[in-house]
Structure 1
Amino acid sequence: MKKYKIFIPIILMVVIPAIFMTFISFFRFSTTLDRKLSDAFFHILPSHHFFSKDIVIIDIDELSIAKYADHPELGQWPWKRHIYPTLIGYTKLLTPPKITIIDIMFTERSDYDEAIVTANESLGEISHAANFRDGGIVIPRQGINEISQRFRVNLQTTLPFPQYENASFPIGKIGETAPMVHVVNVRADSDGILRRFSPVVMWNGLYFPTLALQAFVLGEPYQIETMDSNLLLTKENLKRVVPLGKDGMVRAYFYSEAELRNIPRYSASGIIESLEKLNSGEVEDPNDLLVPPSLFENKIVLIGTSAAATHDDVVTPHGLFPGVIAQAVFASNLTEGHLLKELPESYGISFTILVLLIGVLILFINQWHLLKNLYPIIAISMFVGLFYILYRMDFVISTYSFVLGFPISYLLGFAYLTYTEGKEKRKFNNILRNLVDPGVVSVALENMDSLKQGGEWEITAFFSDVAGFSTISEELSATDLAKLLNEYLSAMTLVLKSNSGTLDKYIGDAIVGIFGAPIQYKDHPKMACKSALEMLSELEKLRTKWNENNEFTPLARAMVFRIGLNCGLAKVGFMGTDSLASYTMMGDSVNLAARLEAAAKDYGVSILVSESIESVCKDEFHFRFLDWIRVKGKEAPVKIYSLESLQKDVTDVMRQAEREYELGFEMYLGRNWEKAIEHFQNVSKLYQREDISSHLLIKRCQSLFQNPPPVDWNGVYTRTSK
């Protein structure tokens, strides 16, 4: 494709989609759209991370609340706080858990706070929930109390983290005696879906750990610092790099929906019941209990709620789940290193533009049609493949640019391709419909590139010319000459097309045709022979009509033509300019056909063909051998034949006459001029008319008798004229 022609596809397939992508990004629609699209891909692609085996949940579920709604020690929700030390203590009956993290807030006073205080002081590693929020009365910095100073994270950074206006820590002595405190607040994205979390949050210029961070550090000493745009956590020999986004939050890996539903959750009612049976002596072996204490050995235990009455549900990429499930996912992400890094939008846009540029090459430069048809599959496969490879490496590439840009690019490119190819098809159709039978045109146009490029293959070249047309034209007026020529050419061209021939051109009264192109037929020599014989019959009909109507002059009504046929390799294709092109043929085999048409006059035959035609058509058509000749411009001799009829129409007289001719030619080659002349004379007697071919050979024998040829003479006659 020319340079100026490729400019439009680039505009349509690259520039316009790029402008649209820029528009989406400029108005900040891209981030939410990206995350929604990536959620969809995460659902489709197989998981490569699995939920941590170290995390379990004690769940205050619907069964627990319903079962103990009338219990004097618990009552309706919220339960009395002395139950929590019971639940925590049960997990420590055998080997204690690594840490117990409570996802229930004790930010208001109750009559049972002392039980929580006692648990804090005696049961070990417990982390209590703090509630951070926006709105209400903003507490100034001087209002920061001892609890907040004790539990803050020692972090110095300029990176942004989620920031809140107010904070509520565990109340009174619960907070004062709490071994650890974590913030349970989470922030959903603008579409209301919780996808991200932060290891720390900010209040009053101080940083505080979230539940996920407490699950990672397990109450042990650790270091926290920022490095570039990442958060670096170090604990003993374990390092965790947290890839932060622009707002200090990290994309969570939400596993599969099945995994979320199969997170180990043990009903609080089951624990209470198990403890009652153990205390009453009903069950002696703890392993036989409904919820054995061994389930919590060396685990990270989260205590939370899933009952509807607790109003602690969040919307995740997998739908509505209890908040404690989301917190468990964040804890698993940080402890196992299952953290996703959202790559900058520019990465996705760059990849998309690369794919769009490849699309331009495939649609408008590439000549392989199958590749054009496979282009959408290839592009989508490239994108999905790249997305999955990066996803396996815990990177998330921007998707909106491809998901929106590629369809726009493909539709615009395909529409323009359809328009341009349709334009070219209309152009070539206008040319071909005058050259080829309409039934052939549609087939030829199916492969436009092949049609435009052409090629070199075996065809049969057809040349015909009216004998003595110059004399005929001198006798007729311009009107009659045009009428005669139009009738003749129309009838002959119709025969040509009906036999799947292609009209190359008219040269005055001459017709040039091609058999075997643009569609490559195997039997193109036979098609040409059939067409030539039918033209003889059609001309006879025209002469009968002209004589009956007394049209034109006697010479015109007696019109005859000559045809030359040759089969061989030739270059075929459209040649000319964009505005004026014709489908034509070139090559030595074409030139020979033209020479044969001219030579037909010398031998007095209507259809003169080469041996290449006779050898493949002799089973269906009858040919008469005439001579060995060397045409002008070629050194190699050619064996020529006259196409006489179909095999079924051959008569005994024809066979006898042709046998006499062949005997005469044998004598001619043997330099027995007198015997040769005798046989050639017998041919005319058998036909009962002068046989011009025989007469030609008689004259040649007489000449050679008077002027004997050289010793190395082989009987080949060299024509000196075209």
Structure 2
Amino acid sequence: MKQNKILFPIFLMVVIPTVITAFISFFRFSTTLDRKLSDALFHLLPSHHLFSKDIVIIDIDELSIAKYADHPELGLWPWKRHIYPTLIGYTKLLTPPKITIIDIMFTERSDYDDALVTANLSLGEISHAANFRDGGIVIPRKGIESISEKFNVKLNTNLPFPKYENASFPIGQIGETAPMIHVVNVIADSDGILRRFSPFVKWNGLYFPTLALQAFSLGEPYTTKTMDSKFYLEKKDKTRMIPIGKDGLVRAYFYTEEELRSIPRYSAAGIIESLEKLNSGEIEDPNSLLVPPNLFKDKIVLIGTSAASTHDDVVTPHGLFPGVIAQAVFASNLTEGHLLQELPELYGILFTSVVLFFGVLVLFINQWHLLKNLYPIFAISLFVGVFYFLYRMDFVLSTYSFVLGFPISYLIGFAYLTYTEGKEKRKFNHILRNLVDPEVVSVALENMESLKQGGEWEITAFFSDVAGFSSISEELSATNLAKLLNEYLSVMTNVLKANEGTLDKYIGDAIVGIFGAPIQNKNHPKLACKTALEMVKELEILRAEWNKRGDYTPLARAMVFRIGLNCGLAKVGFMGTDSLASYTMMGDTVNLAARLEAAAKDYGVSVLVSESIESSCKDEFHFRFLDWIRVKGKEAPVKIYSLESFQNEVSPKMILAEKEYEDGFSEYSKRNWEKAIEHFKNVSKILEKDDTSSHLLIKRCQTLFQNPPPVDWDGVYTRTSK
């Protein structure tokens, strides 16, 4: 394709969709769509990370609240605070956990704060929850400055971690004695779905760790550094690179819904019941308790709630879950390094542009029609494959540009291709339909490649030729000769096309046609016979008009033609070059039809057919047996017939003459030359006109009488000319 013909498709299929997706990205309309699409792909693609085995949850669930609703020391939610030291202490009965992280706020005073203060001082690795918020009135609290100074983290970074106006730390002595503090704030995306978290949040110019970071550090010292726009956490046994986004958040790997529902969660009611049985001496072996203490050995223990009355639910990519489950996911992400990095949207746009460019080549350069239909499948598979490959490496490729851009591009491309091909088809259709059969044109324009490949099936080959045309052409001027041929060929070609025949070619005055291809039709022999008889009638009409008008010469006005028909297997298809191809036929079936057309002259008939035609069409058409011949280039003998008429047009005279001819041929085959001659002479008498076929056989009998054939003579006449 010329350069100017490919530039416009590139503009349509690459530039326009790329500009649209870039426009959407520039105005930030794409972010939520991108994340929704990636969520859908995460659900479809296999998971490649498992939830951390080090994290367990003590869950104040529906059962716990319902069971102890009337308990004098617990009561309705919120529970009295002295229960939390009980839960924490139970986890430390044997080998203690690595850290206990509380996902419940203690920002208001109660009568049981001393129990938590004592737990802070005696039970060790406990981290309490703080909550930050925007808006409202800033109320100074006693001791808040000392708490914030005690627990803030010294960061030397310009990363835009989430920033808040107000802070709520654990109240009074709970906060002052707390071994550790963590922030439990979560930030949902604009569609309300929680997908991301931050290791730090900022308040009053100070940085504070979130629950996930506390799970990573386990209360141990750690350092941070920012290098090449990447944020690193380092402690004595591990280093973690955190791919912080532009808004200070990192995309979480949310595992599978089945894994989230399988996170080890131990009901607070079960722990209380186990402790009561242990204290009462009812069960001496801790391992046989409902919740054995060794389940918390070397674990990161989160204490949270899942009961509906606690109103601590969040929307995740897997639907509604308790907030403590989301915190556990973030903690697992940071401790195990399961963090996703959202690649810049430009990467997705560039990938899409490359795919779209190859789409242009497939639609407008490629000549393999099947590839045009397969390319969308390939492109989608490539996109999913690249997305999954990057996902396995914890990168998230921007998806919206492909999901929007590729359909837009391919629809525009197909629309333009349909328009341009339709324009070309209409142009060539107008030209070709004047030359060849309209059905061939239609099929060729739909699938030229398939027709070029061709095929082999049963057809009827048609050959016709004007008798003595050389003599006619010598008598006519060039103008009159062209006029005569145009009239004759136009009428005969119309008859051919009207009977579903395909025009193969003109060879001077000769017409070569095909029945049964390219559109296969089991009635092709009958259609060919019908065509031949109608052409005979049309030629009679033409001769009458020429005589009436006095056109041309007497020899031209007396024009006759010969037709040869044969059916059988043949190779058919478009043959030639890309720029010049003709739908044609080849094979023995075709050669025999051509030989029959030439032999028709010897027998003085208009239409000479093979036995295969006669056997296929004798129910509708009347045939006259003529001879057994052996044509040039073929050893096998051929039984030949003259196509006389439709069956309903047969006269008794024709039947009687043909019976006499067949009797004569029988005597001829038995070498009874004299008897054969008598029968052949009777044929002309019955028909009341000279019968060329009978005269031919009479001469042959006379010759054989004078020069008897060899002993092995089979009665078959061998033609030495084509």
TM class, shorter-length: 0.7 to 0.9
Mark the CA change 1:588 to 1:316 in structure 2 (over 3 Å): closer, same or farther.
closer
Would you say 1:347 and 2:347 are equivalent positions? yes
User: Which secondary structure does the structure 1 equivalent of 2:226 belong to?
Assistant: strand
- The structure-2 alpha-carbon separation of the partners of 1:419 and 1:223, relative to structure 1 and needing over 3 Å to count, comes to same
Partner AA of 1:381 in structure 2 = S
> Equivalences for 1:442-591 in 2 at 5 Å?
444=443, 447-450=446-449, 460=461, 462-465=463-466, 492-503=492-503, 511=511, 513-514=513-514, 518-519=518-519, 530=529, 533-535=532-534, 537-539=536-538, 542=541, 546=544, 551-552=548-549, 555=554, 558-563=558-563, 572=574
Q: Which residue of 1 aligns with 2:43?
A: 43
Residue 127 of structure 1 deviates from its aligned partner by 0.7
Shift in Å at residue 404 of structure 1?
Answer: 1.0
> Match for residue 60 of structure 1?
60
Cα gap change, 1:306 to 1:473, in 2 (>3 Å)? same
**SS, match of residue 145 in structure 1:** helix
Counterpart residue number, 1:393 = 393
Which position in structure 1 is the counterpart of 2:292?
Answer: 292
Q: Which moved more, 1:291-300 or 1:650-659?
A: 650-659
Partner of 2:17: 17
Structure 2 gaps of 5+ residues are 617-622, 648-654, 700-717
Q: For residues 294 and 572 of structure 1, do their structure 2 counterparts lie closer, same or farther at Cα, with a shift above 3 Å needed?
A: closer
Q: Secondary structure at the match of 1:320?
A: strand
State the Cα deviation string for residues 575-625 of structure 1 (Å, max 9, x = none).
998xxx99566999999999989978986856699xxx9697697786768
Partner in structure 1 of residue 98 of structure 2: 98
Asked whether the 8 Å contact 1:344–1:398 carries over to 2, the reply is: yes
Instruction: Tell me the amino acid that sits aligned with residue 5 of structure 2.
Output: K
SS in 1 for 2:248: coil
Match of 2:204 in 1: 204
Q: 2:337 & 2:476 partners in 1: Cα distance?
A: 102
Distance in structure 1 (CA, Å) of the matches to 2:53 and 2:599: 97
CA-CA distance at 1:337 after TM superposition: 1.8
Task: Classify the secondary structure of the residue corresponding to 1:234.
Answer: strand
Q: Distance in 2 between matches of 1:569 and 1:161?
A: 76
Instruction: State the distance in 2 between where 1:266 and 1:569 align.
Output: 79
Q: Contact 1:429–1:441 (CA<8 Å) still a contact in 2? A: no
- 3-state SS of paired residue (2:266): strand
Q: CA deviation at 1:246?
A: 1.9
Match of 1:113 in 2: 113
2:233 partner SS? strand
In structure 1, the residue matched to 2:328 is 328
Q: Which residue of 1 aligns with 2:27?
A: 27
Q: Is the 8 A contact 1:464 1:564 kept in 2?
A: no
Give distance in 1, aligned partners of 2:665 and 2:550: 35
Report the Cα distance in structure 2 between the residues aligned to 1:658 and 1:16, rounded to whole angstroms. 81
Q: Say if 1:461 and 1:590, in contact at 8 Å, map to a contact too.
A: no
Q: Which position in structure 2 is the counterpart of 1:668? A: none
The whole-number CA distance in structure 2 between the counterparts of 1:623 and 1:144 is: 122
Deviation at 1:80, TM superposition (A): 2.5
Question: Which deviates more, 55-64 or 590-599?
Answer: 590-599
**Equivalent in the alignment of 1:225:** 225
Question: 3-state SS of the aligned residue for 2:47?
Answer: coil
Say what the alpha-carbon RMSD is for the aligned residues. 5.1
Aligned residues of 1:653 and 1:687 also touching (Cα < 8 A)? no
Tell me: CA distance 1:570–1:132, structure 2 relative to 1, closer, same or farther (3 Å).
Answer: closer
Query: 2:714 maps to which residue?
Result: none
Structure 1 residues 286 and 598: CA distance shift in structure 2, 3 A = closer
Distance in 2 between the 1:594 and 1:282 partners?
108
Shift of 1:252: 0.6
TM-score, with structure 1 as normaliser: 0.77
Equivalent-residue separation in structure 1 for 2:3 and 2:694 (angstroms) = 59
AA at the equivalent of 1:264: P
Q: 1:378: Cα distance to partner? A: 2.4
Q: Are 2:575 and 2:583, in contact at CA under 8 Å, matched by a contact in 1?
A: yes
| Structure 2 match to 1:710 | none
> Which amino acid in structure 1 is aligned with residue 413 of structure 2?
G
Q: Compared with structure 1, are the counterparts of its residues 520 and 357 closer, same or farther at alpha carbon in structure 2 (3 Å cutoff)?
A: farther
Structure 2 counterpart of 1:362, one-letter code: V
Given that 1:161 and 1:248 are in contact with CA atoms closer than 8 Å, whether structure 2 keeps it comes out as yes
CA shift for structure 1 position 47: 2.3
Aligned partners of 1:461 and 1:593 also within 8 Å: no
Kindly indicate whether the alpha-carbon contact (under 8 Å) linking 1:435 and 1:497 is maintained by their aligned counterparts in 2.
no
Identity of aligned residues (%): 63
Taking a change above 3 Å as real, the CA distance of residues 660 and 372 of structure 1, as seen in their structure-2 partners, is farther
The equivalent of 1:703 in structure 2 is: none
For 1:363 and 1:646, the matched residues in 2 are separated by 54
- Whether the 8 Å contact between 1:305 and 1:324 is mirrored in structure 2 is yes
In structure 2, the residue matched to 1:277 is 277
Q: CA deviation at 1:61?
A: 2.6
SS at match of 1:156: coil
1:18, 1:65 → 2: CA distance?
56
Query: Are the counterparts in 1 of residues 144 and 169 from structure 2 also a CA contact under 8 Å?
Result: no
SS of 1:187's equivalent in the other structure is coil
**1-structure distance, mates of 2:587, 2:440:** 27
**Normalising to structure 2: TM-score of the pair?**
0.77
Say whether the 8 Å CA contact 1:491–1:538 is kept in structure 2: no
Q: Residues 70, 514 of structure 1: CA spacing in aligned structure 2 closer, same or farther, 3 A cutoff? A: closer
Structure 1 residue 326, shift from structure 2 partner: 0.8
Matched residue, 2:301: 301
SS of 1:232's equivalent in the other structure is: strand
| Structure 1: tracts of 5 or more residues without a match | 631-635, 665-674, 699-714
